[in-house]
Amino acid sequence: MTYIKQFQQREITPRKTAHKASKGSYSTFERDGQKFIQFVSYGQGRNPEKISQTFQLDRDGAHDLYSILKRTFNFE
């Protein structure tokens, strides 16, 4: 699990294919008056309910991600 405070753009060699799709979920919670959102991805194959990766964002991290998504996908 990780708590992401800020995102930085990093250039990588593009993949020729996308990753396999898996299920994901999110939940929200508050700690010490601060709101968080937590994203979870789940495994594939024999154990599809096993948690694979988890990350949390606070308001600043969420705003940073929102700005990246808006710019990348031309959201209004």
Chain segment 25-56, per-residue pLDDT in tens: 999 999 999 999 999 999 887 888 899 999 99
- Pairing of β 51-57 and β 34-42: antiparallel
- Band the pLDDT of 14: cuts 50, 70, 90: confident
Strand partners, 37: 28, 57
Residue pair 6/60 in contact (Cβ under 8 Å)? The answer is yes
Task: Tell me what pLDDT residue 71 has.
Answer: 96
Residues found in the chain: 76
Share of the chain above pLDDT 90, in %: 71
> Does pLDDT of 66 surpass 90?
yes
pTM: 0.82
